[in-house]
Structure 1
Amino acid sequence: MTYPDEFLPSLPPQQEALFAAAAADYARYRPGVPDAAVRVLADILRGRSAPVLLDLGTGTGQVPRALLPAVPALTHIEAVDVSRQMLDQARNALAPVLGHCTLTLVHAAADAYEPLAPLPGEEDSGPDLITCCRSYHWMDGPAVLTMADRVAAPDAAVAIMGDGSLWTHDADWTRALREVIQSYLGSERRAGASATYAEPRRSYEEDLAASAWSDVTERRFPVTRTWTPATVVGYLHSTSFAQPDLFQDRHEAFEAEARQLLDAYAKDGVLQEEAVFTVLLARRPGTAS
C-alpha cells in the first residue's frame, strides 16, 4: 500500500525545479544500483524482524526498487525527494512491487525530513538503514547527518553512494562530449538554468568523521556499462549540466553535433564506461554488527 504524500517545508525552490522536467528521462536512462552494492545494503538489514529503509534524495526510487527483492522482510520505506515529479516516478516504480511493504513518499529537502506518525501496529524505532545514492552532493551534508542521528534506530547504518557521472568520467569519448557541451554552455559545469556546480567544501569522509556516523567502511565496486549514442543523449536530458532547456534555441544543433561525435567514437554502435561505484557505509562508533 502507498500512503499519502506528506509535504515538509524549507524546500529550496531552485532544487525543487532542477530535475522536475527530467524525471521521466531520469527513470529511463539513469544506471541502476550495482548488484554487489545491493548485497552490501541487504546484509545490513538481514536478520532484522521488521527492517525500515529511509532513502534520501530517492529520485525515481532506484535504491528501494533494488532492495525490495533482496530483502523480502523489508517492512516500510520512507522515500524523500525535493521533486514532486521524481516522487511520482518513484511511486510508479515501487507500487507494483511493494508486496507487504508500506511506502511513504515525502516531499522535502533531506535535512528537513522528520519522521511521520508511525503506522498502526508498527513500533516507532526509526529507520535501520538510511541511504543517499548519487544525491548527497546536492544536500546540506552535515545537517543531513545530524538529522539521521536524531531519527535512526540505535544500531542503524548510513550509506552514501555514488559513481560520478558522464561529466566526470575520464574516457576519450566522454572528454570529447564534455568539450562539445562546454562549447555551447561555457567552461563551467552548469547546475540547472541559473547556477553553476560547486564542489562540496569538504569530502564525504570529512563530513562523516565530524558526525555521529564516524565509524566508516569504504567499499568500491568496478562497473562496466555499455551505452549507445541514443542512450547517452537520453541520459544528458536527465542531467543538471546538459538539460535541453539550458541550450534554449541551440539544443537541436547541440544534439546533432553530440550524436555525430558519439557515432564516431562508438565501436559497433557501443560506447563503454568503466566506472567505480563507491559505498561509504557509516555507523555510530560501537554499534557495528
Structure 2
Amino acid sequence: MTYPHDPIPDLSADRAELFAAAAAEYDRYRPGVPPEAAELLAETLRDLPDPTLLDLGTSTGQVPKALLKALPSLDYIEGVDLSQQMLDQARAALTPVLGGCTLSLVQTSAELYKPLAPLPEEEWWTPDLITCCRAYHWMSGPDVLARTHRIAAPQASLAIMGDGSLWMHEADWTRALRDLVQQFLGAGRRAGALGDCPKPVRPFQEELADSAWSDVAEHRFPVTRSWSPESVLGYLRTTSFAGADLFAERHAAFEEEARALLDNLADGGPLLEETAFTVLLARRRAGAR
C-alpha cells in the first residue's frame, strides 16, 4: 500500500531529489542502526499485542530492518520519505524480512504526512513508536513534533536518533578528507542543491522540551567502525556534502585524489571511526497538549 508515484502537492523538488540518485549506494554504504539501539526501541513495544511503527525519513528502511530483527512480532510499518527512489530501495530491502508484518510506504515530507486511509472496516491506525534516524535536521522540528503528537497512540514513544557524519568526526583521516572536499567545493559544508548546510537553530533536546514530547531520556551507544578507502568513497557519494553531482565533471578527479589520500592514511589497515549512536527517547507527560 503506497501513495501514488506522483509526489503529493507542495513536495519540494530539491528536497525530494537530495539523496535520490544514491539510493542503492545509500543502502550499501550507510551504517545501519546498532543492535543495542534496536533493542531499546523494541522494549518500548514488546508488551503490546500488535505493535506498529512510523518511521519518518525512512530512506532505505534501516530502522524498520533493525527493529524487525529485534522484534519479529512487529505488526505494521509505515515508512515516510521524500524520495521515491529511496522508498523503492526500502521496499526491496524490507520485503524479504517482513514475515507477517505489513509494510506501507508514503512519499511525502514529515511535515505534511498524514496516516494512510484505513482499509474497509478497520479503525484509523495510530503508531505505537515513531522514529526519525539521521533525518530530523532536514525537517521543521516543531511542526513534526506537533503532528506526531496528534496522530500517535496514547502510550506511544518517539525516538530521534543519529551519530553525526564523517564530516563532523574528528580524526586525522577525516580532517584530511574534509580538507580535500573543501579544496574542490569551498569552505562551507554543502547541503546538495540547497546550498550550504544551515546550522541548527536549537538543540533537538530543547525542541523536545518545548513540545508535548517533553519526557526525554538520552541513550548513547559507543560504536567503532572500520572503513576501507572504497567504503568511504561509497559513503561520500550518498552524502549531501560530497555527493557526485556537487563535483559535476570534476567528480572523477576528486575520487582519484581521495582514494590516493585514503590509501596512504590507511597504510594497509582500516580507517577507524570512534563515535556514539545517540537515541533521544521521548514520551508525553500526562495531560500534554
TM-score (normalizing by structure 1): 0.95
1:207 aligns with 2:216: no
Counterparts of 1:167 and 1:114 in 2: how far apart (Å)?
33
* Partner SS state of residue 48, structure 2: coil
Q: How many angstroms does 1:13 deviate by?
A: 1.5
The AA in structure 2 aligned to 1:136 is: Y
The AA in structure 2 aligned to 1:221 is: F
Q: Which moved more, 1:90-99 or 1:53-62?
A: 90-99
1:4 aligns with 2:2: yes
Partner deviation per Cα, 1:203-249 (whole Å, 9 max, x = no partner): 10011011000000000000000000000000000000001111111
Q: Is the 8 A contact 1:78 1:106 kept in 2?
A: yes
Counterparts of 2:9 and 2:128 in 1: how far apart (Å)?
25
Q: How many angstroms does 1:121 deviate by?
A: 5.9
Counterparts of 2:197 and 2:231 in 1: how far apart (Å)?
24
Q: Which moved more, 1:110-119 or 1:86-95?
A: 110-119
Counterparts of 1:156 and 1:8 in 2: how far apart (Å)?
27
**Which residue matches 2:89?**
89
Q: Is the 8 A contact 1:131 1:160 kept in 2?
A: yes
TM-score (normalizing by structure 2): 0.95
Q: How many angstroms does 1:45 deviate by?
A: 0.6
1:104-119 pair list within 5 angstroms: 104-119=104-119
The AA in structure 1 aligned to 2:143 is: A
Counterparts of 1:72 and 1:88 in 2: how far apart (Å)?
22
**Which residue matches 2:227?**
227
**Which residue matches 1:191?**
191
Give percent identity, aligned residues only: 61
Counterparts of 1:125 and 1:248 in 2: how far apart (Å)?
44
The AA in structure 2 aligned to 1:185 is: L
Please give the root-mean-square deviation of Cα atoms over the aligned residues, in Å.
Answer: 1.3
Counterparts of 1:84 and 1:10 in 2: how far apart (Å)?
15
The AA in structure 2 aligned to 1:226 is: S
Change in CA separation of 1:267 and 1:35 when aligned onto 2, cut-off 3 Å: farther
* Partner SS state of residue 48, structure 1: coil
**Which residue matches 1:68?**
68
The AA in structure 1 aligned to 2:144 is: V
The AA in structure 1 aligned to 2:37 is: A
Q: How many angstroms does 1:96 deviate by?
A: 1.3
Counterparts of 1:121 and 1:270 in 2: how far apart (Å)?
55
1:145 aligns with 2:149: no
Q: Is the 8 A contact 1:229 1:269 kept in 2?
A: no
The AA in structure 2 aligned to 1:195 is: G
Counterparts of 2:102 and 2:141 in 1: how far apart (Å)?
27
**Which residue matches 1:283?**
283
The AA in structure 2 aligned to 1:4 is: T
Q: Is the 8 A contact 2:35 2:70 kept in 1?
A: no
* Partner SS state of residue 230, structure 2: helix
Following superposition, which runs of at least 4 residues in structure 1 exceed 6 angstroms of deviation?
A: none
Task: Give unpaired runs (5+ residues) of structure 2.
Answer: none
Counterparts of 1:217 and 1:122 in 2: how far apart (Å)?
34
The AA in structure 2 aligned to 1:284 is: R
Task: Give unpaired runs (5+ residues) of structure 1.
Answer: none
* Partner SS state of residue 36, structure 1: helix
Counterparts of 1:273 and 1:267 in 2: how far apart (Å)?
16
The AA in structure 2 aligned to 1:5 is: Y
